[in-house]
Structure 1
Amino acid sequence: MTALLLLHTSPVHVPVFDALRDRNHPGAVLRHLVAPELLDRARAAGPESVAPALRALLAEAGANAGAEAGAGFGAVLVTCSTIGATAESLAPALGVPVLRVDRPMAAAAVRAGTRIAVLATVESTLAPTRELLAEEAGERPVSIRTHLVAGAWERFEAGDTAGYLARVAEAVGAVTDADVIVLAQASMAGAADLVTGTVPVLSSPAPGLAAGLAASLATRSAP
């Protein structure tokens, strides 16, 4: 059965997406590839700097999958928002769809209102997310404000997931004058469950996984 390949820059995402698969897409086949060095490089030298390593990594994954009967993948879902745009640009060379996990979330955000607040816990994610929202908005006028959640990423790196999500939820509660709040990184998704306000809070894993599986199925069904 053709699988969806998920590229992560942290191993914490693997059980998150497996749980979403089990809940919303039972029977779907996911393959996980974890490469934390890509985010380290992107934060140090910019997202474009990871293109050669990312291309080689995905090409190797495709070659390895092709060597195993029935183990190929029909699409790639990149769960790191910082390198998402760079990854999308590699699709023609790889010959399969390459999707960034946050694009469906961005599309939903620009439909939800004109005042969009973006929260991120690493600064390198802010510009790519702003650019993605502007791309999805097209001619629609939107106001995009970005917020870096101070002190959160250090907790994530220390393995303090509860503290990380609590800090993100606190930052969400401090946002005013927004029609919709975007959690820019997949790792932030759990904070949405801790928020009690009335402003919609969007995260990327669930809609991103649905889009990735749809793309993989379309590839498998193509003649």
Structure 2
Amino acid sequence: MTEPVLAFVHTIDSNIAAFDAMIGELAPGTPVRHALRDDLLKEALDAGELTGDIRARTAEAVVAEAEKGAALLLCTCSTIGPGADDAAQRTATPVLRIARPMAEEAVSRGTRIGVAATLATTLGPTMDLLSEAAEKAGREVALTPAVYGEARDKLMAGDMEGYVRIIADGLRETAKACDVIVLAQASMAPALDLCSDITVPILTSPRSGLAAAVESYRKIRAAG
């Protein structure tokens, strides 16, 4: 019998190699399967938001992947995350969002939370997760969104150095009014190499989200 896999739905191709590398560190030997749906993110960016239609098609895509022999599925894109939540209500396979553990940690570490992004479409879903986490924890938080749009232009032009520099500069400004900052996109994490002078905690989603998924996957396999 084929062993059930830990499945992923990505919207950025480079995330496949990045998560394979992290799996190699956190859970070597774990069978994984990746699905790339960059079309969903592109459409959301073109529309300027996660429309009802894109959200519905995201849910359909996630359910389809989850039911192809997956023990658990992890959605690694914040923009389409609400569609993954919808999918979780329609399949017996557990569906997780990459940013949820980060949101829970942020709420536990401060009440003034900066939400940094280079894509405006990721702000709403990430802020909603933070609000949910705060309500669950019984805490009141103030969310401060910050979009570094110029960084996205650098990334699209292939200027990674410029991309991370603009993010790092933006984080320094955001940190002045916050107890903790969350990065709404996994692709922003390399900028942290330039942020050693920032004393405010800056949280990223990939490793914490994957660690939570691996823990859940192991529990499911042990029980089954």
- Fold similarity call, TM over 0.5: yes
Q: Who is 2:87 aligned against?
A: 90
Query: TM-score normalized by structure 2?
Result: 0.89
Aligned length in residues: 216
Q: Who is 2:148 aligned against?
A: 149
Residues in 2 aligned to 1:14 and 1:159: alpha-carbon distance in whole angstroms: 19
Residues in 1 aligned to 2:104 and 2:131: alpha-carbon distance in whole angstroms: 10
Do structure 1's residue 191 and structure 2's residue 210 form an aligned pair?
no
Report 1:17-56 matches (<5 A): 17-43=19-45, 44=47, 46-47=49-50, 48-56=52-60
Residues in 2 aligned to 1:150 and 1:165: alpha-carbon distance in whole angstroms: 12
Structure 2 letter corresponding to 1:53: R
Query: TM-score normalized by structure 1?
Result: 0.89
**RCO greater where, 1 or 2, for CA within 8 Å and sep 6 or more?**
1
Report 1:53-132 matches (<5 A): 53-62=57-66, 65=68, 72-132=69-129
Given that 2:5 and 2:30 are in contact with CA atoms closer than 8 Å, whether structure 1 keeps it comes out as yes
Structure 2 unaligned segments of length 5 or more: list them.
none
Residues in 2 aligned to 1:133 and 1:10: alpha-carbon distance in whole angstroms: 23
Structure 1 letter corresponding to 2:159: D
Structure 2 letter corresponding to 1:198: T
Q: CA deviation at 1:122?
A: 0.6
- Provide the alpha-carbon RMSD of the alignment: 1.8
Q: Who is 1:220 aligned against?
A: 221
Given that 1:74 and 1:215 are in contact with CA atoms closer than 8 Å, whether structure 2 keeps it comes out as no
Given that 2:107 and 2:141 are in contact with CA atoms closer than 8 Å, whether structure 1 keeps it comes out as yes
Residues in 2 aligned to 1:80 and 1:36: alpha-carbon distance in whole angstroms: 10
Q: Which is further off, 21-30 or 46-55?
A: 46-55
Residues in 1 aligned to 2:55 and 2:177: alpha-carbon distance in whole angstroms: 37
Structure 2 letter corresponding to 1:85: P
Change (3 A) 1:26 1:162: farther
Given that 1:192 and 1:202 are in contact with CA atoms closer than 8 Å, whether structure 2 keeps it comes out as no
Residues in 1 aligned to 2:142 and 2:9: alpha-carbon distance in whole angstroms: 31
Structure 1 unaligned segments of length 5 or more: list them.
66-71
Do structure 1's residue 161 and structure 2's residue 160 form an aligned pair?
yes
